[in-house]
Structure 1
């Protein structure tokens, strides 16, 4: 979550500014189509801007979505975790007939 707030927010601002600039330069429909890969950046009136939008659509958007999704899934898994790692290790050692580990853990 720390990365998402510190670094991720900076990338999100870059994304929004680039998309707004691309929309004003290319037109909103064309900027969206380049961003999601429907239209080739080479087929626009401003190919450099379109290539930036295209790269952002292929690299930045999936990375951001993946990061947010990973964080949310990890949070849900942590909420449902009933036992700590130490409790789990203690139960496994007991079931295998091993003596308890010294030092309360690893």
Structure 2
């Protein structure tokens, strides 16, 4: 398995399990519709029959879900950028210096 797949299977499944547990408990206490509305921020957690569960769902909706999605997306975008990098920094610097007509650096680098 490559790194993202491995992470999603090992660590990502734990995050998904924690999220599912909190959401299912919230749905059992608040109802499916209200739990969803609290999760995405339509309904205030304080306006629910179980405010503690509402606050937990609200925190998950505001912190855990965007963090997870942003982290996975950032990692995958970074991998794609790294795949498309052809030259090392030294090769890039040498090519730019050559195009500008500058002499090469002594010692072949920095």
Length-normalised TM-score, structure 1: 0.80
Matching residue within 90, 96, 99 for 2:104: 99
Which residue is equivalent to 1:89?
93
Matches of residues 48-87 of structure 1 in structure 2 within 5 Å? Answer: 48-87=52-91
- Work out the number of aligned pairs and report it: 104
Matches of residues 20-39 of structure 1 in structure 2 within 5 Å? Answer: 20-39=24-43
The CA deviation string for residues 52-77 of structure 1, in whole angstroms up to 9 with x for no partner, is 10011111111111111111211221
Greater mean deviation of Cα atoms: 16-25 or 31-40: 16-25
How far, CA to CA, are the matches of 2:104 and 2:40 in structure 1? 58
What's the offset of the Cα at 1:100?
3.5
After superposition, the CA RMSD in angstroms is: 2.3
The CA deviation string for residues 23-74 of structure 1, in whole angstroms up to 9 with x for no partner, is 1221111111100001111111100000010011111111111111111211
Unpaired stretches in structure 2, ≥5 consecutive residues: none
What's the offset of the Cα at 1:94?
2.5
